[in-house]
Amino acid sequence: MSRRIRDVMSRGALAVEPMTSVDRVARLMREQDVGDVLVAYDSDLFGVLTDRDIVVRTIAQDRDPHTTTAGSVCTRPPVATLTPDDTTERAAALMRQYAVRRLPVVETGGRPVGIVSLGDLAATEDTRSVLADICRADANH
């Protein structure tokens, strides 16, 4: 059964400006216990930065995380976005098409309002799945 994204998304996703240093973003991710942030400027979505992006595009390339900016290593523009009125079925189709685990949710005009993850969909659509169980478990610290 398909639901609206507004009912399953994580609201108020962590957002940073493109000029924010990668080390600052990593600290924010740790503090907020998240693996991704939206990169936005003046309420416009610029890109998405994941913990994997930090490792692969910064650390593994010997870039200094203190001087490397979020805007220079984030995925931009995002491969796809959703609106709060989109369906979970559309989200799953886009995730499958682009092989991504998270999609930003934006209002008309591009203002970011949240993010929806594969785990959000699993916990909503198939509450008995292994992925849903993993998503409900406490994070490893």
Residue 123 has what pLDDT? 78
pTM above 0.85? no
Task: Map residue 126 onto helix, strand or coil.
Answer: coil
Strands (DSSP E) contained in the chain are 10-11, 15-16, 36-41, 44-50, 102-106, 112-117
The confidence band for 135, taking pLDDT boundaries of 50, 70 and 90, is low
The answer to whether position 141 is within a domain reads: no
> Which pLDDT tens digit goes with each residue over 3-57?
999 999 988 788 999 999 999 999 999 999 888 999 998 878 899 999 999 999 9
Would residue 61 count as lying in a domain? yes
Asked whether the beta carbons of 54 and 22 are under 8 A apart, the reply is yes
Residue 117 has pLDDT above 70, yes or no: yes
Q: What pLDDT band is residue 124 in, cutting at 50, 70 and 90?
A: confident
β-bridge mates for residue 44, sequence order: 41
Best CA proximity match to 111, nearest among 35, 22, 11, 1: 11
| Residue 27 confidence (pLDDT) | 97
**117 lies in some domain:** yes
Is residue 29 included in any domain, yes or no?
yes
Nearest to 35 by CA among 24, 26, 45, 44: 26
- Residue recorded with tokens 């659509």: 125
Per the structure, how many domains does the chain have?
1
pLDDT at 101 over 70: yes
Q: Which two tokens stand for residue 40?
A: 């936005």
List the CATH number of the domain containing 65.
3.10.580.10
Enclosing domain of residue 109: 5-136
48-94 pLDDT, tens digit per residue, is 999 999 999 999 999 999 999 999 999 888 889 999 999 999 999 99
